Amino acid sequence: MKLEEMTLEDVTKRLAELEEEVRDAQDIELVNKAIEEKKALLERKAELEELEKRKADAEALSNGSAQPDKVVETSNEKRGKEMGKKEYRTLWLKNLQGTLTEEERSSSEYSVLVNAGAVVPEELQADIITKAKEYAPILNEVTLLNVPGAVKFAVEGDNNAASVHTELATITAAKDTMVEVVLSAYELTKLIQISATVKAMSIDAFEAWLVAQLAEAIAMKAENLIFNGSASGEAQGILTVKSTPDYSTITAANILGLIGSLKSGYARNGKIAVSRKTFFTKILSLELTVNNEVVKIATGEATGEYRILGADVLFTDSVGDDTVIYGDFRKYVANFAAPQNVVSQFDIDTNSYKYLGAAVFDGKVALAEAFKTIQVATTA
């Protein structure tokens, strides 16, 4: 019987036979052949036992007798944990910087680095997203996920109030709804270039520079998509969904109308997104007919924080001039669908290094009614 045709039972039986043959053998050549055959049988046995284990795990999961979190970690999960190590992080940065030593190239961490490709270490990814939120505060306001690949996410739609129940009467379920948001995955990229003197930078300085550059690029592009994305090969923007404004001029009356027209459920978390130019030149000077200020300074002028009738103001250049958005930004769902990647290349013509950063992002408005806008028509 050929080795590849043997079952686990066949292998076990043949190993036992070999033990008997070797014990009684007088010929050295016969003993050597038996040893070689035993090695092959033991390898076949290990393969078959692994297959049996996988089969048992699969059956246990399918019949509910085991939970997925009990399954042995996959190589990717193990690699992910290794990627979080400080040694890997330093090695990854030095590889990008072009300063790896021969000793570092022969280390076990370097083999993990090669297998992982251009994937940014987990801790560094977290630093980039944290920094991105500083550059684009809107990322703190939307529902932001970090789930690999395409994703479906449910957002609460209509939510009816609790009702009084008469004792012993039949209870009718409230007609609450959930809205499903389906997100795809679109790539964001940023090419940055720095002279070869990057090799002279300390690891900490290089890391800080790289994080700042990638975070700003990701933040600015993601923010612009959240407001202006076309939904064609990229994220869907709020202003794409709200292409027809609720009000067409910036007046005190329309500011009041904007604030008052949003349902209370959304208004509890309502915030206003506007450019600094529009705010300071068109809104700040507005007054109500009863001479109360429309704009209230939040905690003192020095802080630079403002509220309009109690709603926090978010400044962003991604909202065009003469446009005001008021809404519950949690009803916009976004997802960074994959780890950020960075690849590097030396450019001999300019004696510099080029770094290409990439992230995968998508976003959609879950509920259009959660947003109200003032959009002044532009004149040619």
Split at pLDDT 50, 70, 90, the class of 315 is very high
- In a shared domain, residues 108 and 149: no
Phi, psi at 40, each rounded to 5°: -65, -40
Residue 78 inside a domain? The answer is no
Q: Is 363 helix (H, G, I), strand (E, B) or coil?
A: strand
Residues comprising the chain, all counted: 380
77 belongs to a structural domain:
no
For residue 248, give Cα distances in angstroms to 152, 237, 287, 322.
35, 19, 18, 9
Same structural domain for residues 230 and 133?
A: yes
Q: Which of 10-19, 60-69, 74-83 has the lowest mean pLDDT?
A: 74-83
Q: Does residue 344 sit in the same domain as residue 371?
A: yes
Residue 76 lies in a domain: no
In a domain, 226, yes or no: yes
pLDDT over 70 (residue 176)? no
Average pLDDT, rounded, for the chain: 76
Do 190 and 318 belong to one domain?
yes
Residue 330: per-residue pLDDT: 92
Coil, strand or helix at 234:
coil
Say if 185 falls within a structural domain.
yes
At residue 55, the pLDDT reads: 66
User: At 77, is the pLDDT very low, low, confident or very high (cuts 50, 70, 90)?
Assistant: very low
- State how far the Cα of 370 lies from the Cα of 330, in Å rounded to an integer: 9
Stretch 257-275: mean pLDDT: 92
Last residue of a domain, one of 92, 115, 138: 115
104 and 229 housed in the same domain: no
Pairing relationship of beta strands 271-274 and 311-315 according to DSSP bridges: parallel
Tokens of 304: 């630079």
pLDDT at 63 (0 to 100): 54
pLDDT digits (tens, 9 = 90+) for 249-262: 999 889 989 999 99
Residue 89: closest CA among 189, 203, 231: 203
| Cα 315 from Cα 229, distance rounded (Å) | 18
pLDDT at 339: 60
Decide which of 196 and 271 is more confident. 271
Nearest to 221 by CA among 374, 370, 358, 375: 358
Model's pTM, two decimal places? 0.64
Same domain, 91 and 123: no
Looking at the structure, tell me whether residues 260 and 180 fall in a common domain. yes
In terms of pLDDT, which residue wins out, 125 or 171?
A: 125
What is the model's pLDDT at position 319?
Answer: 94
- pLDDT of res. 187: 75
Lowest mean pLDDT among 13-17, 26-30, 123-127: 26-30
Q: Are residue 328 and residue 182 in the same domain, yes or no?
A: yes
User: pLDDT class for 70, splitting at 50, 70, 90?
Assistant: very low
Tell me how many domains the chain contains.
3
Instruction: Give residue 300's Cα distance to chain centre.
Output: 35
Pair 57, 99 in one domain: no
- If one counts every other C-beta atom within 10 angstroms of the C-beta of residue 293, the result is 14
Domain of 90, in residue numbers: 83-115
More confident residue, 188 or 229: 229
40 and 97 belong to one structural domain: no
Do 309 and 349 fall into the same domain?
yes
My answer on whether 65 and 101 are in the same domain is no
Tell me the pLDDT band of 327, cut-offs 50, 70 and 90.
very high
Q: Which of 106-120, 281-295, 309-323 has the highest mean pLDDT?
A: 309-323
Q: Is 339 among the domain residues? A: yes
